[in-house]
Amino acid sequence: MVDNTDISNEDTPTTEDGIFGDAVRTKRTGLKMTQRALAIVVGCDPSYISLIEVGTRNTTGERPHISARLRTKFDRWLNDRDPNPWVEIPAEELTEVDKPWPKPEPKSEPTNAPHRHKHFATLRYYVEKRQHTYLWGPPGSGKSTGAEHVAEALGLDYGYVSLNPQTSEFRLIGYKDAMGAYQETAFRQCYEHGGVFCVDELDNANPALLTTLNGMLESQLGAFPDRIVSRHKDFVFVATGNTNGRGATKAFPDRRKMDAAMMDRLVFVDWGYDSTLENKIATKIIGARKGVQIARWVQSIRRWAETHAPLLSVTPRATFRLCASLDSPQSTDELLNSALFHSIDADTKRNALTSHPFMIDRK
């Protein structure tokens, strides 16, 4: 979520915001410009381009409301009949108006924090080499965020889709609507023009979709509903999953075994939890003293659960929720249910709290 008056998820988006986003995307891809290049040409933060074009990652993809000021900047470029696709202006020649606007500050969401996961350097190494990668590890360990961060760090565009067994291949390759117009996807943009494309929960995908994906990775050409497209040299596929690709586990009984051809195409990175990162994010939310206390307490419950309650998933999200809601009006019991225990049975909860009492001062 972006904290800036020029682009807002709080104001209700209008139909014009959607039409405007489509126009920006159509023109940019027609000119074969990257999102970053366009951001520099119009003078705004690169993260805006993806928000304007395809909407937010965690919602239904709704486009945000765009202020008149920002729109004017894009309108100049949209109405230019002979736009120069990509001219880098030397820093000393930038006028006040041309200077990129400051990067939006994160609100309460810690996603934009500069902290990196302990395996981030490994991921970066492979993505730099344009090797397709599979990050596998427990929920909340920062896999999806790692994929987003690596695109940002390498100046590549970023696209994302989360899969479940019902997700059809059209979420990847797009489709032709009733009027015969091709509706493209973030996957198509990355495939054709370069970028990191993250497929979340690959081990939860439907087999037909995986077959399509496999073909797209194998060949230099991809069959899309409108035409055959050459794979861009900067297209990198980063998938995530909760299992190691060898099939279901106790905690994830529905996950599928990965097809040998797909497995052969991916570099596997065992992502895992990073407690130092968890402590740093907790510190950012609530300060070092309480943040580290809370993170350590959640980590001790996590270790306890590994042997005593393997179905209780104690992820770093529990730490972040507790840090953010320590001052909620709930009783401590209610707060722990909301943030961590959810609907686990009373015995398991009592045993966890007997082994590791919650002694953190909530004031």
Ligand X SMILES: Nc1ncnc2c1ncn2[C@@H]1O[C@H](COP(=O)(O)OP(=O)(O)O)[C@@H](O)[C@H]1O
List residues near ligand X by CB under 6 A: 110-111, 113, 115-117, 139-145, 240, 277, 281, 316-317, 320
Partner from ligand X, Mg ion, none contacting 140, C-beta within 5 to 8 A by type = ligand X
Residue with the shortest CB distance to ligand X: 142
- Closest distance between ligand X and the C-beta of residue 310, in Å? 18
Nearest CB to Mg ion, comparing residues 47 and 144 = 144
Task: Return the bridge partners of 246, or none.
Answer: 257
Instruction: Measure the CA–CA gap between 259 and 355, rounded to whole angstroms.
Output: 42
- Closest distance between ligand X and the C-beta of residue 350, in Å? 28
Task: Return the bridge partners of 270, or none.
Answer: 136
Q: Are 234 and 195 in contact (CB under 8 A)?
A: yes
Give the CA radius of gyration of the chain: 22
Nearest CB to ligand X, comparing residues 4 and 145 = 145
- Closest distance between ligand X and the C-beta of residue 117, in Å? 5
Q: Which of helix, strand or coil describes residue 62?
A: coil
Nearest CB to ligand X, comparing residues 85 and 287 = 287
Nearest CB to ligand X, comparing residues 112 and 189 = 112
Instruction: Measure the CA–CA gap between 60 and 38, rounded to whole angstroms.
Output: 24
Nearest CB to ligand X, comparing residues 189 and 315 = 315
- Closest distance between Mg ion and the C-beta of residue 163, in Å? 11
Partner from Mg ion, ligand X, none contacting 316, C-beta within 5 to 8 A by type = ligand X
Pure H helices in the chain: 15-30, 35-42, 46-54, 68-78, 120-128, 143-154, 170-173, 186-193, 207-218, 260-265, 275-286, 288-308, 316-325, 332-336, 346-355
Degrees (nearest 5) of the Cα angle 254, 133, 146? Answer: 90
Nearest CB to Mg ion, comparing residues 184 and 200 = 200
Nearest CB to ligand X, comparing residues 75 and 152 = 152
Partner from Mg ion, ligand X, none contacting 136, C-beta within 5 to 8 A by type = none
Partner from Mg ion, ligand X, none contacting 13, C-beta within 5 to 8 A by type = none
Q: Read out DSSP for 296-318?
A: HHHHHHHHHHHHH-TTS---HHH
- Closest distance between Mg ion and the C-beta of residue 26, in Å? 30
Partner from ligand X, Mg ion, none contacting 349, C-beta within 5 to 8 A by type = none
Nearest CB to Mg ion, comparing residues 144 and 283 = 144
Residue 199 main-chain phi, psi, to 5 deg: -105, 110
Partner from Mg ion, ligand X, none contacting 189, C-beta within 5 to 8 A by type = none
Can you give the binding site for Mg ion, defined by CB under 5 A? 144, 200
- Closest distance between ligand X and the C-beta of residue 112, in Å? 7
- Closest distance between ligand X and the C-beta of residue 318, in Å? 10
Instruction: Measure the CA–CA gap between 287 and 10, rounded to whole angstroms.
Output: 27
Q: Are 225 and 182 in contact (CB under 8 A)?
A: yes
- Closest distance between ligand X and the C-beta of residue 83, in Å? 36
Contacts of 136 (CB under 8 A, 6+ apart): 143, 203, 240, 241, 242, 243, 244, 245, 268, 269, 270, 271
Q: Are 328 and 345 in contact (CB under 8 A)?
A: no
- Closest distance between ligand X and the C-beta of residue 51, in Å? 17
Nearest CB to ligand X, comparing residues 191 and 320 = 320
Enter the tokens of residue 5. Answer: 């008056």
Nearest to 52 by CA among 11, 85, 23: 23
